[in-house]
Amino acid sequence: MVSTPPAATHNSGRQYVPDVPESVLDQASPNQFLMPLTAQVNGKDHLEIGGCDVVTLVQQFGSPLYVLDEATLRAACRQYRQAFQRHYPGESLVIYASKAWNCLAVCAIAASEGLGLDVVSGGELHTALTAGVDPSVIYLHGNNKSVDELQMAIATGITIVVDNWLELETLVELAKATSAADESPQAPVRIMLRLTPGIECHTHDYIRTGHLDSKFGFDPDQIESVFAFVQQHSTVLHCVGLHAHIGSQIFELQPHQDLAGVLVQWLVKAADYGLTLEELDIGGGLGIRYTESDDPPSIDQWTQVICKAVVDACGDRQIPLPKLIAEPGRSLIGSACVTAYTLGSQKTVPGIRTYVTVDGGMSDNPRPITYQSLYRTVVANRMSAPMTEAVTVAGKHCESGDVLIKDATLPPTHPGDILVVMGTGAYNYSMASNYNRLPRPASVLVGEGDASLILRRETYADLLAHDCLPHRLTRPPSEGSGS
């Protein structure tokens, strides 16, 4: 297993591209690389991904443009699935946390690689079902699911990860109403219970979900009451297991070991209430390499630690191994995508900084302004040019904080150059907006020299598609001009 990526080359004066031999493409852990595994420099000195020249892609599809490498995404899916098969002696299931990027093509790829899907809304669920994902491997999360979303989940037969008392009580009412309205007996609603394990990890406050001060899950002092309630309503609720998630972009392994022990402890306690729980979902959270200094564990390392911790905890308590579920998101797709921009204006503030501006920004990547996230970038049309300038890459939005990268090291740049930002597969398109009425970018799936459009670029007409102009606000153009 290749667990250590090749050294980045920013400090050597050349721009970074991975050097992954084709023979180890499926073994190289994608989350440890700044770029997709197929990235290389072609004979034109252009960045190439999936056999496609990124400069040519921009000419064909425009910019900003999300470029998703199919080989890297599939490699990550396979590594997770195979690692659990290798390290866990019981049954396992990897489900893609699709909030990272939920669209028809991505859902279809994950399903074709044998993964289930984690969804957090009716919209994500509808997308997954339309992409052909089997409902039996779809899990619905969320701390404030609507009645419509719960009804949709019940009707499709997916598993609902219950987050709070209101949801639990609402499900009982909906399940009873469904049974009463149908002449044939209804199977109990399949649920899991989300617990707050009280485990801290070093990540951004906004993406820490396992500590006690969290909006997600049942707290430890509620769990036994929840078990009793579920057993009381076992004719309409079928509780199959427990779930917890401790956060995102995590490089530490110890918190995941601790999580296994906590969950198995509550698995044992559930038996005291007559509940036989057969599934254990330990969440996801493995980080990716956004900058040269990031050093995340490999997919195999993370999986091995998780599996051993669950096996040891079950062995200590002498209980059968549960079906082990993991739900990676960022580490599956984050490194598989880059965003290509076209450079525009520049501004030098003497003695302070030089700004170079791209044709997108916070509307296609809100993570820097939201989480102070760091990224790396290259000039795709001059990959061998020496990097001699320190610049700040700014977006085009009417917002002073619309800065993608501070103090980026680049070659001298010119308007029209193609700037590529790495590691934009997770929480970029999925969090994109129409701020300043910018249409959302297109996305292409690349592989073996072929590029397929998977998300079309929005148009100005799309921006107005849901606008409604009350009749009283319409008047002849002449009346709108002052005199």
Catalytic residues: 398
Give pLDDT, residue 168: 97
> Which CATH architecture is the domain 141-328 placed in?
Alpha-Beta Barrel (3.20)
Is the predicted pLDDT of residue 448 greater than 90, yes or no? yes
Give pLDDT, residue 13: 62
> Would you state the structure tokens that stand for residue 78, as one six-digit string?
């396979």
Q: Where in the chain is the domain with CATH 2.40.37.10?
A: 10-68+335-464
Q: Where in the chain is the domain with CATH 3.20.20.10?
A: 141-328
Give pLDDT, residue 206: 34
Is the predicted pLDDT of residue 419 greater than 90, yes or no? yes
pLDDT (tens digit, 9 = 90+) per residue, 65-113? 999 999 999 999 999 999 999 999 999 999 999 999 999 999 999 999 9
Beta bridge partners of 230: none
Give pLDDT, residue 208: 41
pLDDT (tens digit, 9 = 90+) per residue, 306-328? 999 999 999 999 999 999 999 99
Q: How many Å apart are CA 10 and CA 377, to the nearest integer?
A: 10
Q: How many Å apart are CA 131 and CA 104, to the nearest integer?
A: 5
Query: Which of 46-60, 178-192, 280-294 shows the lowest mean pLDDT across its residues?
Result: 178-192
Is the predicted pLDDT of residue 207 greater than 80, yes or no? no
Is the predicted pLDDT of residue 235 greater than 80, yes or no? yes
Contact (CB, 8 A) for 175 and 188 = yes
b (16+ CB within 10 A) / e for 86-107: ebbebebbbbbbbbbbbbebbb
Confidence of residue 182 (pLDDT cuts 50, 70, 90): confident
Give pLDDT, residue 60: 98
Beta bridge partners of 96: 117
Give pLDDT, residue 266: 93
* CATH number for the domain whose boundaries are 10-68+335-464: 2.40.37.10
Is the predicted pLDDT of residue 10 greater than 60, yes or no? no
> Would you state the structure tokens that stand for residue 416, as one six-digit string?
């029209």
Share the mean pLDDT of the chain. Answer: 91
Beta bridge partners of 347: 355
Is the predicted pLDDT of residue 21 greater than 90, yes or no? no
Is the predicted pLDDT of residue 343 greater than 60, yes or no? yes
Higher pLDDT, 7 or 359: 359
Give pLDDT, residue 9: 39
Is the predicted pLDDT of residue 58 greater than 70, yes or no? yes
Is the predicted pLDDT of residue 296 greater than 80, yes or no? yes
Confidence of residue 210 (pLDDT cuts 50, 70, 90): very low
Calculate mean pLDDT across residues 134-162: 97
What's the gap between Cα 57 and its chain centre? 24
Higher pLDDT, 187 or 190: 190
